[in-house]
Structure formats: structure tokens, C-alpha cells
């Protein structure tokens, strides 16, 4: 059996308290790695001195092998904080106004990809299958091919692929695009991403369609296809059940018991639409004043990418907005927006989702959005809450029975919150059942199996 080699920017190592990150993607990839042996390669999270040579650091944790790479501060600034998160992330999320392209960032990005390729090549066996994840590593296959690697290589993009007009605002976008043809398989979350990608290739006249969803670029045949990511549904369902009974939540809950809760859970990011959501919640309280003192928004938002100015700006904007809404509607013994600016364990999160009557998942743009799926999986089947979902995330293409909204339309969001609160039990159950049926059959293990099956057939 061929080994599986997973490559991503970060690897899901246990934190300093020994607990591993609980994300479903990591669970599925680790299960595949356990079965197929192989290893997971990525940045260790540590910074090395500029002069120290690039090296792989092997680690073995819970039966999984990791190969870790330390990066220098310059690499981090140019590759990670620079090209990946200040150029590709905003462009791929439709925000070219926030992109800050520089030659140094572009060259740092290619330098780290080249370094990863050199290190990885030294460990490869002939029949290893390589699965590269996300926008940090788009040129990795091209670098591996140039180094003589002929193994099967697949790439999965976890964020959206933008329309051609937006992508082409990146000065060297044609080179970036061309790099993807070195993969045997390129996977996206949705048909929309795939069609944007094909439009980019057509505009650049890169290759030709040889059969449905396959393009040949020079002598390489690179297949592209859609693999909507999901969560570990069964695991999340049981986490939510346990958490709802758990002592910790029971203790925390009396303080918010008796209120109708709308929950928002997102990394702090301008793509998640948090400020528009809080604004819409304020508009809801203004419009339906009978809900004042009875409804609250629980917004859980850990910090992320704090060194980037656009992230500091959105952090400040959200904090001010929370203050404004709480100032306008709060009373001595009631605060409408509970803003928690730190991570919460998945086991606790699952219980909070279950207690919330509304899941408010309203990104301005998102590849998939796993919070939407987690919220649904966590509900009580006999009394499920309602998912309010932005039309502009990958999840909206699958979860048709969510209440879909335009996150830019404050009044529509305010109205939809009220409609969700008064929705009859039978309607809630019907909508929930429709979403759960898909979530149970298309969980993250299905996503992982489908991608690997397709890669092996490429």
C-alpha cells in the first residue's frame, strides 16, 4: 500500500497542555495517515535564526509521524504574514482593496515553497501519494516536479477561488495559476469555485479541456473536481449531547438561562462579516423592541493574525460596535451582546450551539464554513434551533434548508432573526432533518476518502 504524505502550512500538534486541536479536518487526515502510514509535514510554529539551515524535525505523537520545519522571521514575514495572508487571502475572499503585494513577499513565498520541496523530496519513496493543503503551498507541486519528483500529487483549496477579474489583480497571477497544472488533482469546495478556476484558465489560454473537468496543460493532465468539506458529524453530535448534560455548562448556563440565544462563532477575520452581524442584531433589537431584555447574541471570536493591520482594524471596529449596541440597549442587569475574544474548547462549543435557538453564520465570503455544519449537528433532534446562513459561503450550496440571507442587508438579517424565533417546531424539525441527512452521509471522512480515491485514479 502506498504511503500518504500530507503537507500543510501548520500541522495540528497538541498544545502546551497536551490537548490536540479538535478540528474535524485534522481528525480525518490523521485517521487516513494512521491507516496509510506516511507522515504530515508543515511548519512547526517555531522561529529559527536566519543562519540556521532548513531541516526536518521528526516527531511521533499518538501513532502519527510528523516532519516539522522551523521558519526564519524573514520567511514568516514574507511568506506567511506577507504573500499568503496579505495578498492571497484578501484576493481569494474578494477584497483586492486589502491586498498588499510586494516583490519581497512574492519571492519569500516561492522561497519557502522551494525549501519545502527540497526537504520533502529527501524523504519520498517512489509510490508515495502527496496531498498538499491550501493557498500557502500552491507552487509546491511545481517545485517538486522541477526537482524530479514524479509521484501523484493532489491539492485541496480550503478557501474560495475568486472570479478571473479579481484574481488578475495579483501582478503575477498567471504564474500562480500555471503552478497548479503540476498537480494531478486540484480540489475545490464548490462548483462555483471550480467554474471561476476554469474561467481563469480559459482567459489565460492555459491548456484545453480534454474531458469533463480535466484540463491538459502542455504534457501534464491535471484534473479538477469538487469535494465539499464537512465535519465529523457523529462525533460532534455526541459531543453536543454530552456537553448539554455536562456540569461545566450547567454551571455556566444559569447566567444566560431564560434568554433566547443567537450564537456566532468565528475566527476574527474581515471575511466573516462579524461587524455586519452585530449591526444587524442591533437593528433587530431596535425594530422588535419586545425582544429587548429577552434575546442575546453570544459572539465567540478568538484573535487571529494579529500582526496584520487589517485584522487590528476589524478587531477595533468590532469592539466599538459591541460597545455601541450594549450601550444603546443594555440595562443594569442585561447585556445584549456577549463578546468572548478567546477560543473555547470544542466540547463546550458543542453544548453552547445546542443551547442557542439561532446559529448566526453570516460570512461575507467563505470557502465552506464548518461552524454552520457544527451548529446543525449539535442540535437537539426534538427541538432544533434555526441556522441563519449567508448566501456567500460554500455551505449555502449544500444547506438549502437553512434560512439564507444576504449579510450586507441589515434589515433582511434583522427580519430573519425574528422569523427564526417565531418558527414553528414542525418547520424547524423539517429544515433540520433535511440538513442532517446530508451531514450524516457526507461527513469529513467521506470528504477525505473521496479526495484520495480521486487522486489515486488521476
Establish if 302 lies at the interface with ligand ADQ (CB under 6 A).
Answer: yes
Q: Is 374 in the site for ligand ADQ (CB under 6 A)?
A: yes
- Residue number with CB closer to ligand ADQ (108 or 359): 359
Which one of 69, 182, 229, 280 is in contact with ligand ADQ (CB under 6 A)? 229
Strands 220-226 and 208-211: unpaired
Distance CA 110, CA 114 (A): 6
- Annotation marks residue 158 as catalytic: yes
Interacting stretch for ligand ADQ, rule CB under 6 A, among 12-20, 174-182, 220-228, 365-373? 365-373
Q: Is 27 in the site for ligand ADQ (CB under 6 A)?
A: no
Nearer to ligand ADQ, 287 or 345 (CB): 345
User: For residue 396, what are the CA distances in angstroms to 51, 147, 276, 336, 368?
Assistant: 48, 41, 18, 27, 8
Identified binder of ligand ADQ from the candidate list 371, 413, 444, 452, rule CB under 6 A: 371
Q: What is the DSSP string of 80-130?
A: IIIIIIIIIHHHHTT-GGG----HHHHHHHHHHHHHHHHHHHTT--TT-EE
Nearest distance in Å: CB 348, ligand ADQ: 9
Residue 68 or 300 with smaller CB distance to ligand ADQ: 300
With beta carbons less than 8 A apart as the criterion, state whether 181 and 207 touch.
yes
Which region, judged by CB under 6 A, interacts with ligand ADQ, from 35-43, 56-64, 250-258, 363-371? 363-371
* Cβ nearer to ligand ADQ, comparing 188 with 329: 188
Marked catalytic residue, from 75, 184, 232, 366: 366
Taking CB under 6 A as the rule, which mask of x and - marks residues 135-174 in contact with ligand ADQ? Answer: -----------------------xx---------------
Given candidates 225, 310, 370, 413, which one binds ligand ADQ under the rule CB under 6 A? 370
How many C-beta neighbours within 10 Å does residue 281 have? Answer: 27
Query: From residue 328 to residue 357, what is the string marking binding to ligand ADQ with x (rule CB under 6 A)?
Result: ---------------xx----x--------
444 touches 24 (CB < 8 A): yes
DSSP for residue 258 = T
What is the sign of the dihedral through the CA atoms of 75, 80, 85 and 89?
Answer: positive
Nearest distance from C-beta of residue 229 to ligand ADQ, angstroms: 4
Instruction: Supply the minimum distance, in Å, between the C-beta of residue 444 and ligand ADQ.
Output: 9
CA distance 458 to 450: 12
Binding string to ligand ADQ for residues 231 to 270, with x set by CB under 6 A, is what? ----------------------------------xxx---
* Number of residues binding to ligand ADQ, judged by CB under 6 A: 20
> What minimum distance in Å lies between the beta carbon of 4 and ligand ADQ?
18
Burial of residue 211 (number of CB atoms within 10 Å: 0-12, 13-18, 19+): exposed
Please identify which residue in the block is written with the cell numbers 484545453.
Answer: 208
DSSP H or E stretch at residue 378: none
Residue 402 contacts ligand ADQ per CB under 6 A: no
- For the CA atoms of 112, 114, 117, 119, what is the dihedral angle to 10 degrees? -70
Q: Judged by CB, which is closer to ligand ADQ: 235, or 369? A: 369
Shortest Cβ 32–ligand ADQ spacing (Å) = 15
Output the smallest distance, CB 265 to ligand ADQ, in A. 5
User: Measured between alpha carbons, how far is 44 from 121 in angstroms, rounded to an integer?
Assistant: 18
Which of 300, 318, 388, 455 touches ligand ADQ by CB under 6 A? 300
- Closest approach, Cβ 132 to ligand ADQ, in A, equals 14
Closest CA to 58 of 45, 50, 67, 48: 67
Catalytically annotated residue among 75, 93, 136, 158? 158
The CB-of-437 to ligand ADQ minimum distance in angstroms stands at: 20
Residue with cell 478568538: 302
Closer by beta carbon to ligand ADQ, 33 or else 371: 371
Q: For residues 368 and 345, give the distance between their C-alpha atoms in angstroms, rounded to a whole number.
A: 21
Counting beta carbons within 10 angstroms of the beta carbon of residue 192, is it exposed (0 to 12), middle (13 to 18) or buried (19 or more)? middle
93: closest CA among 314, 294, 368, 316? Answer: 368
Q: Give me the residues that bind ligand ADQ (CB under 6 A), please.
A: 23, 25, 158-159, 229, 265-267, 300, 302, 343-344, 349, 366-371, 374
Query: Active-site residues: which are they?
Result: 158, 366
Amino acid at each position: 500500500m502506498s504511503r500518504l504524505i500530507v503537507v500543510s502550512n501548520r500541522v495540528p500538534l497538541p498544545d502546551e497542555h497536551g490537548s490536540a486541536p479538535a478540528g474535524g479536518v485534522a481528525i480525518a487526515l490523521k485517521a487516513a495517515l494512521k491507516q496509510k502510514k506516511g507522515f504530515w509535514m508543515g511548519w512547526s510554529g517555531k522561529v529559527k535564526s536566519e543562519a540556521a539551515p532548513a531541516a526536518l524535525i521528526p516527531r511521533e505523537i499518538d501513532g502519527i509521524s510528523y516532519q516539522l520545519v522551523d521558519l526564519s522571521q524573514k520567511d514568516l514575514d514574507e511568506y506567511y504574514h506577507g504573500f499568503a495572508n496579505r495578498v492571497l487571502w484578501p484576493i481569494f475572499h474578494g477584497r483586492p482593496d486589502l491586498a498588499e503585494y510586494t516583490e519581497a513577499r512574492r519571492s519569500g513565498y516561492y522561497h519557502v515553497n522551494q525549501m519545502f520541496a527540497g526537504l520533502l523530496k529527501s524523504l519520498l519513496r517512489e509510490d508515495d501519494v502527496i496531498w498538499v493543503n491550501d493557498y500557502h503551498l500552491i507552487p509546491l507541486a511545481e517545485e517538486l516536479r522541477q526537482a524530479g519528483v514524479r509521484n501523484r500529487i493532489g491539492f485541496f483549496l480550503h478557501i474560495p477561488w475568486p472570479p478571473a477579474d479579481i484574481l488578475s489583480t495579483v501582478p503575477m497571477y498567471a504564474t500562480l495559476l500555471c503552478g497548479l497544472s503540476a498537480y494531478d488533482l486540484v480540489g475545490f469546495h464548490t462548483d462555483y469555485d471550480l467554474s471561476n478556476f476554469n474561467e481563469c484558465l480559459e482567459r489565460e489560454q492555459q491548456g484545453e479541456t480534454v474531458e469533463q473537468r480535466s484540463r491538459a496543460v502542455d504534457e501534464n493532465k491535471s484534473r479538477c473536481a469538487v469535494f465539499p468539506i464537512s465535519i465529523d458529524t457523529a462525533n460532534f453530535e455526541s459531543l453536543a449531547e454530552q456537553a448539554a448534560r455536562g456540569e461545566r455548562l450547567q454551571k455556566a448556563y444559569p447566567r444566560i438561562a431564560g434568554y433566547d440565544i443567537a450564537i456566532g462563532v468565528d475566527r476574527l477575520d474581515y471575511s466573516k462579516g462579524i461587524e455586519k452581524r452585530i449591526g444587524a442584531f442591533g437593528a433587530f433589537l431596535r425594530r422588535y423592541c419586545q425582544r429587548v431584555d429577552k434575546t442575546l447574541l453570544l459572539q465567540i471570536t478568538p484573535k487571529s493574525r494579529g500582526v496584520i493591520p487589517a485584522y487590528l482594524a476589524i478587531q477595533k471596529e468590532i469592539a466599538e460596535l459591541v460597545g455601541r449596541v450594549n450601550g444603546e440597549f443594555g440595562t443594569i442587569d442585561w447585556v445584549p451582546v456577549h463578546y468572548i475574544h478567546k477560543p473555547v474548547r470544542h466540547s463546550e462549543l458543542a453544548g453552547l450551539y445546542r443551547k442557542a435557538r439561532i446559529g448566526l453564520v453570516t460570512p461575507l465570503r467563505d470557502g465552506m464554513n464548518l461552524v454552520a455544519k457544527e451548529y446543525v449537528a449539535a442540535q437537539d433532534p426534538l427541538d432544533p434551533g434555526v441556522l441563519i446562513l449567508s448566501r456567500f459561503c460554500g455551505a449555502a450550496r449544500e444547506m438549502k434548508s437553512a434560512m439564507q440571507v444576504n449579510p450586507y442587508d441589515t434589515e433582511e438579517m434583522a427580519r430573519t432573526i425574528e422569523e427564526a424565533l417565531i418558527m414553528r417546531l414542525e418547520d424547524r424539525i423539517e429544515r433540520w432533518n433535511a440538513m442532517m441527512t446530508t451531514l450524516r452521509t457526507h461527513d469529513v471522512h467521506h470528504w477525505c476518502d473521496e479526495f484520495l480515491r480521486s487522486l489515486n485514479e488521476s
